[in-house]
Each structure stands twice: as structure tokens, then as C-alpha cells.
Amino acid sequence: MRLIPAMDIIGGKCVRLTQGDYSASVTYSDNPVETAMMFEAYGIKYLHLVDLEGAKSAHIINNKTLSEISGKTNLVIDFGGGLKSDDDLKKAFDSGASKVTIGSVAVTNEKLFLNWIERYGCERIILGADFRNGLVSYNGWISESGGNITDFLKRYEEAGVKYAICTDIRRDGMLSGPATETYRQIAGCTEINIIASGGVSSMEDIYSLEDTGCEGAIIGKALYEGKITLSQLKNYVEE
């Protein structure tokens, strides 16, 4: 299973939220580039980079940070937050993103999302399938579509989506352990490669997610607060 550190950006700084609450952000680094370089030094190959300010707005805001990280590392970066238009996607890819994660547009403008899949390919467009109590959320987790997460995935599986980051909002930033049975159900209902996000608090959680059939797991607060060390991630990758 791929392990993917998360890095959330507000004001050019690396922060983490709790359950998507912007008022409860904690800053972990004033220099995201140095943090990304440290990840790479420990054998990490992937980075999930989120523009939290962009997620609440109508466009990308922190693309400069993306450009700086991509210029200083060889990390495969998937970038999300604020991707609402053709110009936003072009800006993200021009700034060094290898892939982009699309959440809100996939909920509100299916035609545009499918157009991006056709233009850029299913390897470069990741479906952002964030959910709370089984329902899809979007727009920086402020809004809920009312749609069921499994139905949402099945619809886009038929459209050719290959990867989806599924974030359990209730557990995000809580260090309470992932909802492994939920991910087992999600991964079992679709051929899409599921990347679990939310709640990971230990290496035991990572091993439990392995058994669910998820293709990858995103690690956030557990890494920044030392619940999981970079040395442990390096050992896991080398195994």
C-alpha cells in the first residue's frame, strides 16, 4: 500500500485542521519546502498537497508553494484545493503537480469533471470523494451533496476514474484510527483504487488499512505529532 504524507497549506505555512474546522488550525511548519525535502530524504516518494485557502475560494491561492516544492524535490505531488476552472488546472500542472485531486467540481459540475478526465487522462485526475456519515461533502467540507459515497464512486467508475481519495471527515485530524470497515466496504464496491484518508494514528492503523483493499493511505497529523515517525515510514516503504 502506498503511504502518502499530507501537507495542508494556509498562508504559505504547513498546517493541520481538525474535522475540517478552519478555526482550529495548528501550524506545524513555516517552511513547507524544508518539510517536503525531509520527507524525500527518508525515502518518501509521494505528497498530497492541499491548498486550504483555495478549497474555500473560487480559485487556487497557494500555487507558489506547490512550485517551490516541485522545484526542490522529486516528489510525485497530487495537488488539491481551489481547482474550479481550466485555468486552475493549467496553473497547477504548470506549477509542478503530477496529479490533481478534484472534489467540488466532481459534485457540482460532472460535465466539466469528465471533460478534464478526457483531456488529461485518468492517471492525472484523482477523484476527491470526501464524506461525512456516508454522504459526500465538498466546497472545503462546508457543503453536503446528499449523495451516498458508494453511489458517487460507482458513477465515476463507469466514467473511467481510476483513483479516488476518500476522506472520512469525522475522523480527519482526530487521531482516532481510520474507519477500516467503512473503507473495506468502499474498496469492495468499486474497481477504483481507493486512497484512505482520515484518522490514521499509528503504524497499526496502516497495517489494518492494508487488509481493507485500499491502494494507498494518507498520513497527516500522526506524522506531524510524532505518532508515526519518518523512520517507520521509511522501513515500511523498504519492506
Active centre residues (catalytic): 8, 130
The pairing of strands 76-80 and 13-18 is: unpaired
Q: Smallest Cα–Cα separation from 165: which of 99, 113, 227?
A: 99
d(CA 5, CA 48): 6
Helices marked H in 7-134 — which ranges?
Answer: 32-41, 52-56, 63-72, 86-94, 104-108, 110-120
State how far the Cα of 28 lies from the Cα of 75, in Å rounded to an integer.
20
Q: Which sign, positive or negative, has the C-alpha torsion 23, 27, 33, 36? A: negative
What b/e readout covers 56-69, taking b as 16+ CB neighbours within 10 angstroms? Answer: eeeebbbbebbbbb
Q: What is the 8-class DSSP label of residue 110? A: H
The amino acid occupying position 53 is E
Cα–Cα distance, 169 to 131 (Å, whole number): 6
